[in-house]
Amino acid sequence: MPIQLSDHFNYSRLLRFTLPSIAAMVFTSIYSVVDGYFVSNYAGAQSLAAVNMAWPVIMILGTLGLMFGIGGSALIAAAQGRGRLKRANEYFSLIVYAAMGLGVLLTVITWFLMEPLMKMLGAEGGLLSDCILYGHIVLLGLVPFIMQMMFQTLFITAEKPQLCFYVTLGAGVANMFLDWLLVGILGWGLFGASVATDVGFLIGGIIPLVYFARKNSSTLRLGKTRWMPHALIKAAFNGSSELLSGISSSIVTLLYDYQLLRFAGENGVAAFSVIMYITFVFFALFIGFSNGIAPVISYHFGARNKDELKNLFKRCFVIIGVSGLAMFGLAETSASLLSKVFVGYDVDLYNMTVYAFRIISFCFLLSGFNIFASSLFTALNNGLISATISTSRSIVFELVSVLLLPLLFGIDGIWFAIWGAEIATIIMAAIFIIRKRKTYGYL
């Protein structure tokens, strides 16, 4: 029997409902991970560094899909909870059309900004050429990428989380196969990796668009809408935390690259690239779970069902706590193996990667709570608190750490920077959760 937003959720139902969203986020993370594996092993450390420097720019833009998807989903699900189904579909259609138009505009603008951005970060010579090559080709798939990121949440709001998983699985498998073929077999290097990524974007973004444009069995369908600027502003504001989190994370990643080029050269950037690939998969579990449960929270918030909100809040915290412990243990025990897969061909680079990964893996104990706290307030239509948590975590606290700690501890200060950000954020999130417990009734 299909699970609906209006259901009561025990642990089993909660995990079954969010599993497709978790799997979808994991497969989304595979794009850069698989690119990184094949580029590192078949094109070398310079090409790997180029991918890590250009990819954050694409992610900043792709996060617009998360903003519209999660922010719009909160608006749509709340309307559904109040029984306003026609209005929910009008919101849905308007948000999809707006995201597509904005994606086209940003593709054109960013195409001309890619070279000066990479130069500003310190790329030059062959590294600069590789950054521009990879960035320009992947930009061609930006609009489908934005759509894919957006539909991951909207599929859940439409009560079709399994379709989200199947589409993302298809996109991920296509990307992996083409990386193997174009980079591993044909030796096309960065060009092959970027083409593989674009094909994955097309599958992940176009198939959902076609599905919702036709008559379907979900609660949502693309169709006629009206110009409702207040709805777009509300959706953007609701999802601003996700947008700001994505932007700030990418900016901080670029800052890491800049600092590592100064303190450790291209090897430092390559080591950080590997760590980001691996941690992105781990973080995807938290993000997928938080995104998957957000429409349920929005629905019961709209229906004013405080008993179910309390139930969801308690169970989510237990799941995140247990998952964080498991991820930390897995990261510590598998650091050597995972690093060897990517950079086993270079002993110095391998040793640096293992050392840094074991330091950074402590963040898994706290990061899940911080990600969920931001998503919780987005689901409750409080974009201000959500944005404050995510922006403070991803840019304010981490930016200060990555700028100051290397001055005191050298390259070790770069690896420890994320600790300070997660500790400061969880204190802030706890304060907001406690202060707003009576307002929303989740405690």
pLDDT tens, residue by residue, 357-374: 888 888 889 999 999 998
DSSP 44: -
End-to-end CA distance of the chain: 30
What pLDDT, in 10s, does the model give residues 122-148? 788 888 999 999 999 999 999 999 999
Residue 31 has a pLDDT of 64
Report the percent of the chain where pLDDT is more than 90. Answer: 23
Environment class of 302 (CB within 10 Å of its CB; exposed 0-12, middle 13-18, buried 19+): buried
Least confident of 46-55, 83-92, 219-228, 419-428: 46-55
Per-residue model confidence as pLDDT tens digits over 306-319? 888 899 999 999 99
CA dist 233 and 238 (Å) reads 8
Alpha-carbon span 183 to 35, nearest angstrom: 9
| Structure confidence at residue 199 (pLDDT) | 94
Count Cβ atoms below 10 Å from residue 163 Cβ, excluding itself: 21
Lowest model confidence (mean pLDDT) among 268-277, 287-296, 298-307, 320-329: 268-277
* Type of residue numbered 431: I
Whole-angstrom Cα distance, residue 175 to residue 179? 6
- Better pLDDT: 270 or 332: 332
Which of 158, 243, 164, 254 is CA-nearest to residue 204?
Answer: 164
Distance CA 312, CA 342 (A): 39
Coil/strand/helix, residue 83: coil
The pLDDT score that the predictor gives to residue 139 is 95
Query: What's the rounded mean pLDDT across residues 77-105?
Result: 88
The pLDDT confidence band at residue 241, using thresholds 50, 70 and 90, is: low
Q: Look at 213 and 240; give whichever has higher pLDDT.
A: 213
Q: Are 64 and 103 in contact (CB under 8 A)?
A: yes
Coil/strand/helix, residue 413: helix
From its phi and psi, is residue 220 left (phi > 0), alpha (psi between -120 and 50) or beta? beta
Residue 14 above 90 pLDDT? no
Instruction: Give residue-wise pLDDT tens across range 95-129.
Output: 999 999 999 999 999 999 999 988 987 788 888 99
Confidence band, pLDDT 50/70/90 cuts, at residue 40? confident
pLDDT beyond 60 at 1: no
The mean per-residue pLDDT over the stretch 188-210 comes to 91
Q: Which class for 89: exposed (0-12), middle (13-18), buried (19 or more C-beta within 10 A)? A: buried
- Whether 383 and 300 have beta carbons less than 8 Å apart is answered as no
pLDDT at site 175 = 86
CA distances to 2, 172, 226, 365 from 221, in Å: 19, 25, 15, 39
Least confident of 175-179, 193-197, 339-343: 339-343
Query: Can you give the residue ranges of every domain in the chain?
Result: 11-440
- 243 versus 332: which is more confidently predicted? 332
Non-local (6+) Cβ contacts of 183 within 8 A are: 38, 39, 42, 43, 189, 192, 193, 196
Contacts of 398 (CB under 8 A, 6+ apart): 248, 252, 417, 418, 420, 421
Specify the pLDDT at position 338.
82
Mean of per-residue pLDDT scores for the chain: 85
Using the structure block, give the residue that is written with the tokens 């890590």: 52
Closest CA to 371 of 226, 29, 379: 379
C-alpha 325/C-alpha 210 separation (Å) is 40
- CB of 14 within 8 A of CB of 297? no
Closest CA to 156 of 232, 233, 66: 66
Q: What is the mean pLDDT of residues 407-424?
A: 84
Angle between the N-to-C axes of helices 364-379 and 240-302, in degrees from 0 to 180, rounded to the nearest 10: 60
The structure tokens listed for 248 are 């700030």
pLDDT tier at 428, thresholds 50, 70, 90: very high
By CB neighbour count within 10 A (0-12 exposed, 13-18 middle, 19+ buried), where does 348 fall? exposed
- In this structure, how many other beta carbons lie within 10 angstroms of the beta carbon of residue 322? 11
Contact 248, 391 (CB under 8 A): yes
Asked whether the CA dihedral 88, 26, 128, 271 is positive or negative, the reply is positive
DSSP state letter for 179: I
